[in-house]
Amino acid sequence: MDIIVHEVELFINVLLSGIFLGILYALMALSIAFIYSIMKMINWSMGEFYMIGGYIQYLLLASTIVPRELWWVGILISASVAGLLGMVVEVYILKPIYIKRKFERVDDYLTITTILLSYLLRAIAIVIAGPYIFSPPNPLEYNISILSLPLPGERLAAIIVTSIAIASLYLFVYKTKPGLIFRGVAQNSLGAIICGINIYKIYTYAFAIGCGLSGLSGAALAPVFLVYPTAGSIVTTKGFEIIVLAGLGSLPGVLVASIMIGLAESMLSTYINPAYRDAYGFLIMILMLLIRPHGLFGEKRREV
User: For residue range 219-263, what is the model confidence (pLDDT) as tens digits?
Assistant: 999 998 899 999 988 888 888 888 888 887 678 888 889 998 999
Classified as helix, coil or strand, 268 is helix
CB 26 within 8 A of CB 242: yes
Distance of CA 7 to CAs 11, 40, 176, 264, 277, Å?
Answer: 6, 46, 46, 18, 21
> What's the pLDDT band for 104 if we cut at 50, 70, 90?
low
- In sequence order, what E strands does 180-295 have? none
Name the least confident of 23-37, 146-160, 201-215. Answer: 146-160
Determine whether domain 2-291 maps to CATH 1.10.10.
no
pTM of structure = 0.90
| Short-list 299, 246, 236, CA closest to 27 | 236
Alpha-carbon distance of 62 to 51, in angstroms, equals 16
Alpha-carbon distance of 91 to 211, in angstroms, equals 13
- Condensed to tens digits (0 to 9), the pLDDT of residues 118-173 reads 999 999 999 999 999 998 888 887 777 777 777 888 888 999 999 999 999 999 99
| Short-list 43, 51, 26, 45, CA closest to 161 | 26
* DSSP secondary structure string for all residues of 23-56: HHHHHHHHHHHHHHHHHS---TTHHHHHHHHHHH
- Condensed to tens digits (0 to 9), the pLDDT of residues 59-95 reads 999 888 888 888 999 999 999 999 999 999 999 999 9
- Tabulate helix, strand, coil % of the chain (nearest 5): 75, 5, 20
Residue-averaged pLDDT of the chain = 87
Q: Is the pLDDT of residue 35 over 70?
A: yes
Q: Is the pLDDT of residue 301 over 80?
A: no
- Residue boundaries of the structural domains of the chain: 2-291
pLDDT at position 303 is: 41
Of the chain, the percentage scoring pLDDT greater than 70 comes to: 94
Handedness of CA 207, 208, 214, 217 (dihedral sign): negative
